[in-house]
Amino acid sequence: MMKKIVLASASPRRKELLEQIGLRFEVDPTDHDEVRTTALGPHATARRISLGKAKTAARKHCDALIIAADTLVVLGDRVFGKPRTISQAREMLRALSGRVHSVVTGFTVLDAGTGKAISRSVETKVWMKKLTMEQIDAYVRTKEPLGKAGGYAIQGRGAVLVDRIEGDYSNVVGLPLSAVAEALREFGVSVLRDRGE
């Protein structure tokens, strides 16, 4: 009998990404407090937050496989979360304009029944175009940047702001699918099982 899989995230992007690879799962966001500290470094911070989210979800789903994640945008020693206001989004985009930044997603797959957990992180480099204030203002007016790490959505209108990326595209959207699929295999879940595996 296959374990129930729970995505502990309110992100519609993460839900769409997992649906894209044919995974069957439930969505149940956690209210885990995302306390970020730069002292650990972005990779360790993202992994720690994702593990906290997974453990919170495991209390409610005691015999499920939990998938949780946290995405950070890193520019030098600055870590950007999700802007809550238009002015915060504008400031983030001004800072990222014409520069290369990293998108770091930490994710955890946790077996709530056994306590076995795998936490990993993936980094993708993103080159942002040099943006004029008019371009930033026009994009911010769409309200798309709100609630998106770094203040842009590469899978939406924000695609026109990006010059190129190096690494996993789905990681920039919010969940590194290849790495997650690899972790799921270690729990006996193959996303390719219906295709002959």
**Could you give the residue numbers annotated as active site?**
70
The tokens describing 1, both together, are: 């009998």
- Contact (CB, 8 A) for 49 and 36: yes
- The DSSP string of 149-181 is GGG--TTTGGGGGEEEEES-HHHHHT--HHHHH
The residues near 143 (Cβ < 8 Å, ≥ 6 apart) are 86
Question: In terms of Cα–Cα distance, which of 82, 79, 103, 62 is closest to 10?
Answer: 82
Q: Can you spell out the DSSP letters for 37-99?
A: -GGG-HHHHHHHHHHHHHHHHHHHSTTEEEEEEEEEEEETTEEE----SHHHHHHHHHHHTTS
